[in-house]
Structure 1
């Protein structure tokens, strides 16, 4: 921590980010944070620590697991970091595609002037596109184990 950093306690930092103090302690226990200690052994967080907490929170919002965040923040191997980022990027792209398909289905239902939107040819076409996609391996295994329904 730089001497120019403002230094604060775990409670103040936790409140600043809307976290429980045990979250910060846990992140420290797994190596995500390394706050300085005062002469009495109390944690002291500076602005660099606050920035790191903000990075961790943003990564969690993006769906990264703590293990992946730890790997990205602790490695000096850019290839390892890039692999974690590429993997998460692919997962996010898949989520975005599913969300976009859901929005399109809702838009079809909202635009339909049929009394029952499920009978609308445009809506039925949008839903039919979903039915043509291959099912996940987990679903096939489950249905195979219990038989057709």
Structure 2
């Protein structure tokens, strides 16, 4: 017979081990208000199934680049600003995605370029000539004002 979520009780070490974390990480998240473990009569923390799902959400959110403050807003049902925090995170993800696309494009160009040293590549030189001449500032693939084409 399968146990109910109320029957599950993990120690801090057991829960940390399930997620390959050090126990101090769970304590830190508790200090930051992200976790609220129950306590036994001796004051030892214990965690249930709901806590495990919360830890999984924290880890997934951290891996997506969210700060602990953003995550606290995400996992706290009473917190205001959840939608705003998520919208801000989407803006940041879009920025990072564009940055990665520009980096990929530059790397692919360098890989396919006949010039061993990209700085001697005629296409690259043409792409940044106005910066070198002083008529424009900043690289287009860094500040988003253009693309590098071969």
User: After the TM superposition, which residues 35-114 of structure 1 pair with which residues of structure 2 at under 5 Å, given as runs?
Assistant: 35-76=37-78, 80-114=81-115
Partner of 2:25: 23
Report the secondary structure of 1:3's partner residue. Answer: helix
In the alignment, structure 2 segments of 5+ residues that lack a partner are 132-137, 144-150
Structure 2 length-normalised TM = 0.76
Cα RMSD between the aligned structures?
2.6
Question: 2-side partners of 1:110 and 1:134: how far apart?
Answer: 19
For 1:55-109, what per-residue CA distance to the aligned partner results, in whole angstroms no more than 9, with x for missing partners?
00111111111111111211346x7211100101111111111111111011011
Specify the SS of the correspondent of 1:71: helix
What is the CA–CA distance in structure 2 between the aligned matches of 1:7 and 1:112, rounded to whole Å? 59
Residues 1:118 and 1:34: Cα distance change in structure 2 (over 3 Å): same
Structure with greater proportional helix content: 1
Q: Deviations over 1:117-146 (max 9, x none)?
A: 3322333455669624786xxxxxxxxxxx
Q: How many residues align?
A: 133
8 A contact 2:13–2:23 mirrored in 1:
yes
| 1:34, distance to aligned residue in structure 2 (A) | 1.1
What is the TM-score of this pair, normalised by structure 1? 0.76
Segments of structure 1 that go 5 or more residues without pairing to the other structure are 136-149
Rounded to whole Å, the distance in 2 between the matches of 1:3 and 1:115 is: 63
